[in-house]
A = this chain, B = another copy of it.
Amino acid sequence: MGPTTFPDTTFEVIDQTLESAQSCFIEFSKKEGGQRAGFLRRIAENLATHRQSVIAMAEQETSLGIERLEGECSRTIDQIRLFAVLAEKEEWKENSCEEGEPNREPNANLGMQKENHPVGTVVVIGACNFPLAISVVGTDTTSALAVGCPVVVKSHPRHARTCQLLAELVNLAKKESNMPEGCFTLLHGESHGVSRALVSHPKTACVAFTGSLQGGKALSKVAKSRTKPIPFHAEMGSLNPVFALPFALKEKREKLIGSYIDAVNLFCGQMCTKPGALIILEESFDQKFKESLQAYVSEKETLPMLNQDVFQNYEKTSQHLAQYLDMIAQSEISSANGSGRIRIFKVAAKDFLAVSELKAEAFGPASILIIARDFPEMLAVARSLEGSLTGSMLATDNDRIDASTLLPILESKVGRILWNGFPPGVVPGLATHHGGPWPATTDPRYTSIGIKGYQRFVRPVCKQGFAELGGMS
């Protein structure tokens, strides 16, 4: 692990990079879709060819382990190929036409043809927890390249060498497919100043960030202070509440508690969709519930956290939660340094409602069990929540009436709802939505995973009267 071996990019180089991206924008965006598809497929192939060295490097720099990294690498390659198809088919242009009406009163209607165009240079600042899938060649970068936006990626300081290796594969693909030099650049930076300079640069057209609420807020502030505003898309903290209705808990308590603890501990809770709260009724909470939960927690392995920073933050957040809450279950200390113990806290709904600090995400395997006196209090908890990426509902047919009351509240709070399932459950596709109201993201109308991720990077241009010069458009 250790510190990055790359010095921080200077402001001069940042400026040159953005200038170079800007100057190739028209050339790059006017390439045929098939050519950009070829470029993306070369990236996917280069990653497939060098997957062992990339995974080995990511294993050195993170503690995610081979199995997870193998899966993540395959998903990343699949995603790149999905975006190659998008580039090729050009469906992202969403072409729509309206015939003219030359005799329209009071003015002639010239006819309109509208299609999407790329917005310009996109800056990508990736996540610590997905060194492959939400990084140098993740959805942000590849969806932007697919639609013709030059991309400048800021490497993550905790896995900078993995980023560098990935960037070399992209640079190779760039040459192999004859793409302009400026269409992709990786820059390094341990200091936040590098990110700030990228976000505030006048030639940056859009930013895609994945990270903590704190980091997202800080960069959002930089974006807001620009003279010329640009879209700043951040995917940040998310509580991901799970509502368990009484009949569901009556009928399959053991299974649900087990799945809940699995979801909390998945990749040591370092997932943006980790369920940070389980909301149940008082009638569902008895000694048996508590014992089952404790048993599942004690059975689970305590996993290593991504790095020392993340571990220390988790310890701090846990201590903070412990000030307000009872810890009712905790997994064993692991012999490995920097491992994240599962911690389940318990709170009465009325206390949860009173303390706003509890509504934020703890990055790591912690979760809060919220106990509502009755169903109206459960609804009050739902209404009090901030935005999340996901919300889940555990229910059976007998819970149907309560579920239908809860559902519209959940719809107004989250970007994705799982029915009798626990997050993540992310499947990158056309119907994927990985987004949600603040503080989950800065703009709930967009997704950072799945095909529609490109929508952040296009804007429509309407043309009128072009029919007379066929092919001009």
Is A417 an interface residue when CB atoms closer than 8 A count as contact? yes
A404–B431 CA distance with the chains assembled, in angstroms:
37
Is A384 an interface residue when CB atoms closer than 8 A count as contact? no
A60-88: CB near B (< 8 Å → 1, else 0) gives 00000000000100000000000000000
A-B contact pairs, 17 of them (CB 8 A): A26-B412, A109-B425, A120-B412, A220-B229, A228-B438, A400-B469, A400-B472, A415-B462, A416-B464, A418-B464, A419-B468, A419-B469, A420-B465, A433-B460, A435-B460, A445-B459, A445-B460
Which residues of chain A (103-123) have a CB below 8 Å from chain B? 104, 106-107, 109-110, 112-114, 117, 119-120
A432–B464 CA distance with the chains assembled, in angstroms:
10
Q: Which residue of B lies closest to A464 (CB)?
A: B418
Q: Range of interface residues on chain A?
A: 35 or more
Instruction: Indicate if the CB atoms of A461 and B438 lie closer than 8 Å.
Output: no
Is A96 an interface residue when CB atoms closer than 8 A count as contact? yes
Is A421 an interface residue when CB atoms closer than 8 A count as contact? yes
A120 CB contacts on chain B under 8 angstroms: 412
A228–B237 CA distance with the chains assembled, in angstroms:
13
Is A7 an interface residue when CB atoms closer than 8 A count as contact? no
A411 CB contacts on chain B under 8 angstroms: 117, 461
Q: Which residue of B lies closest to A106 (CB)?
A: B71
Identify the interface centre among A397, A400, A461, A463: most chain B CB within 10 Å of its CB. A461
Instruction: Indicate if the CB atoms of A465 and B431 lie closer than 8 Å.
Output: no
A102 CB contacts on chain B under 8 angstroms: none
Instruction: Indicate if the CB atoms of A431 and B25 lie closer than 8 Å.
Output: no
A444 CB contacts on chain B under 8 angstroms: 119, 459
A395 CB contacts on chain B under 8 angstroms: 469
Is A333 an interface residue when CB atoms closer than 8 A count as contact? no
